[in-house]
Amino acid sequence: MKSAAAKVIVVTWISEKHHVIRNRIKPLLTIHRVRVSKELG
């Protein structure tokens, strides 16, 4: 029972971290895309 609860906590923690990392990377990718399109356009 205890190990199952621990597993849920770990999975939740990892998915939250992943979500935060994606949210940080997305704006950087958007800025990069805008810069590239300006240079090409």
**CA–CA gap between residue 38 and residue 10 (Å, rounded):** 42
- Give the pLDDT confidence of 1-41 residue by residue, as tens digits: 789 999 999 999 999 999 999 999 999 999 999 999 999 87
Q: Which two tokens stand for residue 18?
A: 């992943």
- Give the pLDDT confidence of 25-36 residue by residue, as tens digits: 999 999 999 999
- The predicted model scores a pTM of 0.48
**CA–CA gap between residue 24 and residue 27 (Å, rounded):** 6
pLDDT at position 31 is 93
Nearest to 34 by CA among 23, 26, 21: 26
pLDDT at position 13 is 95
